[in-house]
């Protein structure tokens, strides 16, 4: 049983399908993009793969994840994006 307080269902937005295309290159993140591509290549080869993206606000995490999505979709993957309210983090 979780000790976290219950969250009202109204706190969650309805699901919807969104299409994001930036059309811009990611600048200054070659190591991060290489790690993402390595993870995608591993998954394409049938291996379990995960890449964590974390950092301070405003450093480009969202843009990097949009680039990751574009790479994955181009390789034939189906992607799912989720988000969380900072106040709900425990």
The pLDDT tens digits of the residues spanning 67-84 come to 999 999 999 999 888 776
CB 12 within 8 A of CB 3: no
pLDDT for 3 beyond 60: yes
- Per-residue buried b or exposed e for 18-50, using 16+ beta carbons within 10 Å of the residue's own CB: eeeeeeeebeebeebbebbbebbeebeeeeeee
Residue ranges of the domains in the chain? 29-83
DSSP per residue, 23-50: -S---S-HHHHHHHHHHHHHHHTT----
How high is the pLDDT of residue 23? 65
CB 13 within 8 A of CB 7: no
């Amino acid at each position: 049983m979780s000790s976290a307080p219950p969250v009202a269902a109204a706190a969650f937005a309805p699901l919807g399908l969104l299409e994001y295309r930036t059309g811009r290159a990611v600048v200054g993140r070659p190591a991060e993009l290489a790690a993402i591509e390595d993870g995608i290549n591993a998954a394409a080869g049938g291996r379990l793969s995960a890449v964590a993206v974390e950092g301070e606000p405003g450093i480009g995490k969202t843009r990097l994840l949009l680039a990751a999505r574009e790479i994955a979709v181009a390789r034939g993957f189906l992607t799912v994006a989720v988000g969380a309210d900072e106040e709900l983090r425990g």
